[in-house]
Amino acid sequence: MLCLSEEQSIIKGSIAEFTKRRIEPIEKRIEDDDYFPMDILREIGKNGFFSVMLPGIGVQDTYSFSLIAEEISKVSPEVAWLYVTHVAASYALDKLGTEEQKDSYLRKMADGEIIGTIAITESSSGATASAIASSARKYEENWILEGSKTFITMGGDADLYAVLAKTHEDPAAFTTFIVLKSDVGLELGTHLIGSAMKGIGWGEISFNNLILEKHRILGKENEGIKIIPTIARIFSIGAASISLGIMERALELVSSHVKERKIACKSLLSNQTVQDKLFHLYADTEAARSLVYRASINDDIRLAYSAKLFSTERSIAVTESAVSLFGATGYEESLAIPKLLNKAIAVPLHFINNAILTGLFITAID
Ligand SMILES: Cc1cc2nc3c(=O)[nH]c(=O)nc-3n(C[C@H](O)[C@H](O)[C@H](O)COP(=O)(O)OP(=O)(O)OC[C@H]3O[C@@H](n4cnc5c(N)ncnc54)[C@H](O)[C@@H]3O)c2cc1C
């Protein structure tokens, strides 16, 4: 653990206490019933945990943001996923928004009164954001938005959507719009159910003749693609922290299991190969921790991308190895450990897909 300031120690302690008291009791409901915990998100806001990353109205403390996402993820990677998503949407408002937009939305986002998400992906664009087809055309002083988005976290549940759309015949011209749940023309599509990461309100949304006044443009007209570099560091560190939390949980579960599991009156942990595997799991987790924390205190995008790549990939390897150490018991679907593996698999797919990350990393070192 890198040194924490007094304030960071307090934040870490209070999120751990909040997670135990408020998230742990509903974790099973989230997993089993695909329950979307909007009440918890609002409480996270009321307790001030969203405002650690809003320089416009508070502070920008990426280390605290990372510690919060990690603490939550140890108990519920799903709630951590929602936390990172909302903070990234808020950060985009903070960095790209006008004073009027900040007055209207940002304070409420910090308090959890407005929950936001980012809607970029479409079925025909996938990981390539520049291939989206949703478009907005000017109509007098307004814009008319048409199209649809898929795989959206909180798609249908969020109060506010930062939506990327084509706005010009120039193939590189996109604009980001602020769309509200209450807007006429925002339609909710199919609710999707992931094989893990339940309760994140995953779904499709579409825009049918949705009229937006020009003050709903976030950032500059035809420069909307800038939302991706704006949130790239938060997305990367957030995802890396979720994966770190998953690894820690897997390590905790497997450590107890190998001590308790007896084969021919001997604990599994007495076996040299098992000891070796456990050692590797520990080393991987601590290596990820070092990189994630380092990336969070150094404003260097290359470190953030590296933390995402390493932590998300090692998290899959660690949970997979943990499943194997649990043996047949670990393969039982109802148990936490195979679910953790499935959750680990989801993280590199999103928050800028890991395959796309390579191109961004190369651009960053160029
Ligand atoms: C649980 C979950 C929540 C999500 N939430 C959101 C959200 O809130 N908002 C949002 O906008 N999106 C969201 N997404 C979508 C996510 O960002 C996309 O899944 C991602 O962009 C990849 O798109 P795709 O799954 O269609 O993969 P595809 O584009 O079909 O690609 C499949 C695979 O091919 C490889 N690949 C694709 N393109 C390239 C390339 N150019 N170079 C190298 N390899 C490539 C990658 O390995 C990729 O995983 C979410 C996804 C998941 C799983």
pLDDT at 2: 75
Out of 69, 91, 114, a domain closes at: 114
The verdict on 79 and 139 lying in the same domain is: no
Q: Looking at residue 331, what is its pLDDT?
A: 80
Whether the CB-CB separation of 105 and 162 falls below 8 Å is answered with no
Euclidean distance between CA atoms 300 and 289, whole angstroms: 17
On whether both 212 and 251 belong to a single domain, the answer is no
Q: Whose alpha carbon is nearest atom 28 of ligand 1?
A: 126
CA of 98 to the centre of ligand 1 (A): 30
Using alpha carbons, list the distances in angstroms from residue 53 to 65, 88, 262, 355: 7, 9, 47, 26
Let me know whether 15 and 99 are in one domain. Answer: yes
Q: How far is CA 161 from CA 214, 223, 321, in A?
A: 16, 17, 38
Question: From the CB of 346, is ligand 1 less than 6 Å away?
Answer: yes
Query: Between vectors from CA 293 to CA 292 and to CA 295, what angle results, nearest 5°?
Result: 65
What range does the domain containing 141 cover? 117-222
Examine the domain organization and report whether 185 and 257 are in the same domain. no
For ligand 1, say whether the CB of 349 is within 6 Å of any of its atoms. Answer: yes
Residue 291 contacts residue 307 (beta carbons within 8 Å): yes
- Shared domain check, 78 and 123: no
The pTM of this model reads: 0.97
Residues 59 and 180 in one domain: no
8 A C-beta contact, residue 202 and residue 194 = yes
Domain CATH for 308: 1.20.140.10
239 membership: H or E segment, kind and range: helix 227-260
What are the start-end ranges of the H helices in the chain? 6-18, 27-33, 38-46, 62-75, 77-96, 99-101, 107-111, 227-260, 272-297, 301-331, 336-346, 354-365
- Among all chains, which residue has been given the structure tokens 């001030």? 48
**327 vs 258: CA distance, rounded Å:** 10
Domain harbouring 85, CATH code:
1.10.540.10
Number of domains observed in the structure of the chain: 3
Domain-located, residue 264: yes
| 1 within some domain | no
Nearest to 34 by CA among 206, 195, 161: 195
Q: Establish how many alpha carbons lie within 13 A of residue 121's alpha carbon, considering only the half-sphere containing its beta carbon.
A: 17
User: Do residue 249 and residue 287 come from a single domain?
Assistant: yes
In the prediction, which pLDDT does 1 show?
A: 66
Q: How far is the CA of 14 from the centre of ligand 1 (A)?
A: 34
Q: Does ligand 1 lie within 6 Å of residue 162's CB atom?
A: no
Helix (H, G, I), strand (E, B) or coil at 209: strand
Cα angle 230, 224, 201 (rounded to 5 degrees) comes to: 75
Strand segments (E) across 167-243: 174-180, 186-191, 203-213, 217-218
From 170, 196, 222, give the residue that closes a domain. Answer: 222
Task: Tell me if 11 CB under 6 Å of ligand 1.
Answer: no
Question: What pLDDT score was predicted for residue 207?
Answer: 98
* 358/240 same-domain check: yes
The angle at the Cα of 247, spanning 244 to 252, to the nearest 5 degrees, equals 130
What is the residue with the minimal CA distance to atom 25 of ligand 1? 126
Contacts of 111 (CB under 8 A, 6+ apart): 45, 46, 50
Helix axes 38-46, 77-96, angle to 10 degrees: 60
| Residue at a domain's end among 96, 114, 132 | 114
| Same domain, residue pair 191 and 242 | no
Q: How far is CA 44 from CA 7, 78, 257, in A?
A: 17, 14, 32
**Does any domain span residue 25?**
yes
Helix (H, G, I), strand (E, B) or coil at 156: coil
**Alpha-carbon Rg for the chain in angstroms:** 21
Same domain, 200 and 252: no
Q: Provide the CATH number for the domain around residue 195.
A: 2.40.110.10
Residues 232 and 335 placed together within one structural domain of the fold: yes
pLDDT by 10s per residue, the chain, length 366: 678 999 999 999 999 999 999 999 999 999 999 999 999 999 999 999 999 999 887 789 999 999 999 999 999 999 999 999 999 999 999 999 999 999 999 999 999 999 999 999 999 999 999 999 999 999 999 999 999 999 999 999 999 999 999 999 999 999 999 999 999 999 999 999 998 999 999 999 999 999 999 999 999 999 999 999 999 999 999 999 999 999 999 999 999 999 999 999 999 999 999 999 999 999 999 999 999 999 999 999 999 999 999 999 999 999 999 999 999 887 877 788 999 999 999 999 999 999 999 999 999 998
Q: Give yes or no for a contact between 304 and 74, defined as CB atoms under 8 angstroms apart.
A: no
Same domain? For 231 and 353 the reply is yes
